[in-house]
Amino acid sequence: MSYTKIEHYEKEYLDQHHDSALNVAEGVADQPVVNPYFVRRKRRTFTTDEYVEGILQGNITILAQAITLVESNNPAHYAQAQEIIERCLPHSGKSVRIGITGVPGAGKSSFIEAVGNMITSLKHKLAVLAIDPSSERSGGSILGDKTRMESICHNPDIFVRPSPSAGSLGGVARKTRETIVLCEAAGFDVIFIETVGVGQSETAVHSMVDMFMMLQISGAGDELQGIKRGIMEMADGIIINKCDGNNVEKSQLAASHFRNALHLFPTPESGWEPEVLCYSGFYGIGIKEIWDMVYRYVDFVKANGYFEHRRAEQAKYWMYESINESLRNSFFQNPTIETMLHLEEQAVLNGEKTSFVAAKQLLDTYFALLH
């Protein structure tokens, strides 16, 4: 095939310059999902003195990082976290701790949002510890309570901290007790603990709060539901939510049922007769009455000495809980036990040993290592 002079020069140019628009570029390999050139900036680590000083000054950023350190499962963080808690402990104990529970959908987050703005208007500082359930399959947690409290998240006098339950029973996170101490040291004089909301087994929160409030909705059961032991007999106040519109009569009927049920319980140790109130979070009806009930309860238990007695009993309870946790961590973090654990698991899964025999051998080995 013969070329003209112009065609010859065009072909020679294309052979030498492959970036011409006349050429089709070769495809590129699949790009990585994560940018390979991205370098994660290391978060600044604070000393214990900086953590304590920041918390006592009310620095929310340092408080949040200190709570993360306390909640960490990394053994390297344990010593520093304990030192921070010990140094903050003398500055704690000056708040009113209120536990809030109820069935999912009862309106716990909406209740906190409505009451929170009123509390700060009375010159209080509020810390909200919202516990989210963790998935049994993935171990993850959405931590989405903050999205439902939009109006209080921008309030400088309110600190909202969502935490995963991480498999902890009782509706509270494993480190909620220590988190309360840090929040009190930071100057928050009202602490709300919003629990997972799984129902009547949710009682561990009672061991760390001064007042226990339970949110209910109309149609959630009659007197028989109230007679059931567990969470109901621990409630210091029951709030019937969604008392508005066509639901007013149903809410008042539910309140009557719960009042009847409460009469069947023996008088609480505090001597306080639990109150049942109706409330509407949507219209903001009954918020003042609820907070007045909190004032009446706190004044009542402080006057008869139960407030300090309960705090002392809670401290004793958490001493034993700390012992249990320390023993558990010591057992599972032992190198010899870690090696044996996998072998014993396989033996149990293969049916070579019963779970009781395997557990006894692990414990015998652990106790022998202590001598």
Query: Which of 130-134, 255-259, 272-276 bottoms out in mean pLDDT, i.e. has the lowest?
Result: 130-134
Cα end-to-end distance, the chain, whole Å: 96
What average pLDDT does the segment 106-115 reach?
85
> Cβ(111)–Cβ(279) under 8 Å?
yes
346-355 exposure pattern, b = at least 16 Cβ within 10 A, e = fewer: ebbeeeebee
Residue 223 has pLDDT above 50, yes or no: no
**Could you tell me the residue ranges of all domains in the chain?**
92-304, 316-370
Q: What is the pLDDT of residue 221?
A: 54
Q: What is the pLDDT of residue 5?
A: 59
DSSP state of 169: G
Structural element, H or E, at residue 241: strand 237-241
State the Cα–Cα distance between residues 100 and 111, nearest whole angstrom. Answer: 9
Residue 121 has pLDDT above 80, yes or no: yes
316-370: CATH, from 1.10.10.10, 3.30.720.110, 1.10.287.130, 3.40.50.720:
1.10.287.130
What average pLDDT does the segment 84-88 reach?
93
> Cβ(197)–Cβ(103) under 8 Å?
yes
Residue 365 has pLDDT above 90, yes or no: yes
Query: Which of 26-40, 128-142, 151-165, 315-329 bottoms out in mean pLDDT, i.e. has the lowest?
Result: 128-142
Burial class, 368, CB count within 10 angstroms (exposed 0-12 / middle 13-18 / buried 19+)? exposed
Structure tokens given for 34:
């994560």
> What pTM was computed for the model?
0.78
Q: What is the pLDDT of residue 227?
A: 45
| Mean pLDDT computed over every residue of the chain | 82
Q: Does 3.40.50.300 match the CATH number of domain 92-304? A: yes
- The better pLDDT of the pair 225, 33 is held by 33
296 beta partners: none
Q: Distance of alpha carbon 350 from its chain centroid, rounded?
A: 37
Residue 86 has pLDDT above 50, yes or no: yes
Query: Which of 68-82, 217-231, 262-276, 341-355 bottoms out in mean pLDDT, i.e. has the lowest?
Result: 217-231
- The better pLDDT of the pair 190, 6 is held by 190
277 beta partners: 239
Angle at the Cα of 27 (from 24 to 28), degrees rounded to 5? 140
State the Cα–Cα distance between residues 202 and 185, nearest whole angstrom. Answer: 27
Highest mean pLDDT among 155-164, 230-239, 276-285, 294-303: 294-303
Q: What is the pLDDT of residue 46?
A: 86
